[in-house]
Amino acid sequence: MQNGERKAFGAGLLSSFGELQYALSDEPEIEHFDPAVTSLTNYPITEYQPKYFLAKSFADAKAKLTSWAALIPRPFQLRYNPYTQRIEILDRISSVRRLLRDIKGEMVTLEDALTKMKA
């Protein structure tokens, strides 16, 4: 929802004008967005979806999806690298050590900046 109106997000919806009109009509069933439910829902591939999920906002959907994804068990950790704008997989000691080295370097930079500000 945005300003009291439904907005559509999704690659399939945005590529099909007919489905976008259908999704925003009163015809399909609308449920509150819950990633745990959405991820287990079967979707037809030869016709419009009979059900769509509605979030309060894009930020709300993102927060719910992030919280849900954090509960997925996995034998590794993920990290977003803002410099490369990529997701890194921390699944080896070497990758964790590299991250630790980078963080230590950033800490030195921050400490130097604080020292100069105090002077």
Alpha carbons 98 and 84: distance in angstroms, whole number: 15
Is the pLDDT score of 116 beyond 90? yes
Kindly state the average pLDDT of the residues 4-17: 74
> What is the C-alpha end-to-end distance of the chain, expressed in Å?
50
Nearest to 32 by CA among 7, 53, 15, 8: 53
What are the tens digits of pLDDT across the range 71-83?
A: 999 999 999 999 9
80 close to 51: Cβ distance less than 8 angstroms: no
54 close to 33: Cβ distance less than 8 angstroms: yes
Kindly state the average pLDDT of the residues 9-37: 84
